[in-house]
Structure formats: structure tokens, C-alpha cells
Amino acid sequence: MKSFLLGMVLVLGFVSNLTAAQAATVATSKYSSLEDKDCNLLNSSDDEAEAEIDYFNSLCPGHDGYQVKLLGGDIRSWVGILKPGEKYKDGADFYQALMQGSNGHFANVQGTRLEWRYNDGKLVAFIVRMIAQDVDDYEKSVESLVVVRTNPNDFSKSCLIGSVNVRVVADANVVARQIADDASKPCL
């Protein structure tokens, strides 16, 4: 009987450890607003009498001490991330990844929120909704969920890992999250 009870204790201990380990690797999401009402407009072409191009720079709320840069210029907009205490000009800028992932011309942030993906409590990716002019038909647009793998230690090593056309793919949000959570996804 003692050996049976000892065996049950070991099995239950193993199962509870396994469950705790599995729970630690469950991916989660947090969201931050990109709406004008929640962001602080720092400057824009409206501030200049004769600006050469349209532009704006805003600072939006983030998570875990990070802030979101919402930038725009020349009929495009994109996001960046500031580490805690980092100056706006020094923050990461994801222009290249978002333009590449938008699958069109003159891409703009379309969504009103940024989705932050975490695995084991660590920021691993973000997802942003973009809209762009279709490359084959300028009268049409393409709307995509763009997935960027983040490297919080060095945001310059962050990269595009996927893009999901929301008008073509059913459950696009679920697919974008699966891409974000797949640590084996290579940079594109």
C-alpha cells in the first residue's frame, strides 16, 4: 500500500509539474490602443506652413514599460517601439517589415490596436493590421495582419515572419497568432 501511495504521489507530482511547464509556454496576447484619442501627437506637417511632405509622429501606450511610436509620412504609416526610458528618436522603427508585409503600395496602419504576443511571459512578436494599395489594381486595396518577431534585447534584430490577407484567409487573427507563436518561423 505504501508503494502504491508513493507511486501515486510521484505520478501526481510529475503531472502537476508537466501541467505547470505546459502552462508556462502558453502564448498570450495583450493589446494597446493606436487611436488618436489615446496617443500623444508630438509633431506633424500641420505644424509647418510649407511642409514638403505629409508626416506625423505620435506616442501611444504600450505594455511592460514599452511605448509605441506611431509614425507617418508620404501617404504611409507604421509603428515602432520604445524601450523603457528610451528617447523617441532612438526607438525601434519597423517601417521596412511593415511595408514588406503589407503586400501593396502606400501601406498604412489600419487597425486601432496593436497586438503584443507573449510566450512564457516574454514578448515574442506583435501583430498590426495594415491596408495598402493593391499592386495589380490601384483601385483596390489589400488588408493584411502583419506579424513581426521581436527581440526585446535588440529590436534591430526583429523581423517580418508573416502576413495574412484578411480578405482571403478565414480566421485571419487565429492564423496570425499561430505565425507569431511559432518560434521556428524564419525571417522573410
Q: pLDDT value at position 11?
A: 32
Q: pLDDT value at position 50?
A: 84
User: Beta strand 76-82 with 92-93: parallel, antiparallel or unpaired?
Assistant: antiparallel
Q: Residue 138 and residue 30: Cα distance in Å, rounded?
A: 34
The answer to whether residue 8 is domain-embedded is no
Percent of the chain with pLDDT over 70: 87
Q: What is the enclosing helix (H) or strand (E) of 123?
A: strand 122-133
Cell matching residue 72: 507617418
The answer to whether residue 129 is domain-embedded is yes
The answer to whether residue 22 is domain-embedded is no
The answer to whether residue 13 is domain-embedded is no
Structural domain for 61, as ranges: 28-181
Q: Which of 86, 107, 87 has the alpha carbon at shortest distance from 160?
A: 107
**Do residues 105 and 64 lie in contact, with contact meaning Cβ atoms separated by under 8 Å?**
no
Q: Residue 159 and residue 57: Cα distance in Å, rounded?
A: 22
**15-25: per-residue pLDDT in tens?**
334 344 444 47
The answer to whether residue 12 is domain-embedded is no
**pLDDT at 51 exceeding the cut of 80:** no
Average pLDDT on 99-121 reads 94
Mean pLDDT of the chain: 86
If DSSP codes are grouped into helix, strand and coil, which group holds residue 83?
A: coil
The answer to whether residue 42 is domain-embedded is yes
**137-183: per-residue pLDDT in tens?**
999 999 999 999 999 888 889 999 999 999 999 999 999 999 999 99
Q: Residue 166 and residue 171: Cα distance in Å, rounded?
A: 8
The answer to whether residue 5 is domain-embedded is no
The answer to whether residue 117 is domain-embedded is yes
Q: Which of 124, 118, 144 has the alpha carbon at shortest distance from 133?
A: 144
**Do residues 109 and 129 lie in contact, with contact meaning Cβ atoms separated by under 8 Å?**
yes
Domain count of the fold of the chain: 1
Average pLDDT on 104-127 reads 94
